[in-house]
Structure 1
Amino acid sequence: MNGHQVLSHCVRYLDVCGRPVDAFLDVQVIEDTSAASMTTHILEKLNACQLDPKQMTACTFDGAANFSGRHGGEQALFGEKCNPNLSCTHCRGHLLQLALVQAADSSKDIKKAINSTVETTWVIE
């Protein structure tokens, strides 16, 4: 987001009939991108939405070491705090964004649209 570090919170869960449901919870601008700080942000958001982090079976992150590091990244921290059998993968949405940015690199108009800032406030009810 135009030089800002943002953290988005999305969950996938099974409804009462066992069907997967995707839900967007929040996006927030953050200053500290350390694994410890982002883990705290995510756990606070889950708790605020009354979601038990110990019920997580899988999570996705971008490929940065602060997320995917097995010894100090969020993957390791979530394993310690939530579920030691947690399955962590590279976020498909982030992979798509990386591909789109690379594909759009040759177009000034597309690059300008991607880099524009949109101020949005999200309210969770």
Structure 2
Amino acid sequence: MTEHRIFSMPFARVYPMYVQKAERKGRTKDEVDQVICWLTGYDKQGLQQQIDHENDFATFFDQAPGLHPNTALIKGVVCGVRVEEVDDPLMQKIRWLDKLIDELAKGKTMEKILRS
């Protein structure tokens, strides 16, 4: 199994990019946080701790309280890759997060993004 560079990248380094991407399209940091918390099970405080500790993506997902049961409903293409076909479990979680942020930036309703 190949070790992807993003696995060891601090989540705190990518997080501001998620926020910027959403804000450029008129969404808010709170909505980004809501999406991340929905996916990972973190509460706002837990998410902030991950950012403060500058944990890498591997640790960020390892320490996540629990992935949302509806993650199987996250489908589509990110960076030319179908998220539902990603073999590596950690890479799939990262792609799910990318997909959710993309949907937020594209103006989808929170109800649709959160697979309600």
TM-score (norm 2): 0.30
User: Higher RCO, 1 or 2 (CA under 8 Å, sep at least 6)?
Assistant: 2
Q: Which has the higher helix share?
A: 2
TM-score (norm 1): 0.29
Larger Cα-atom Rg? 1
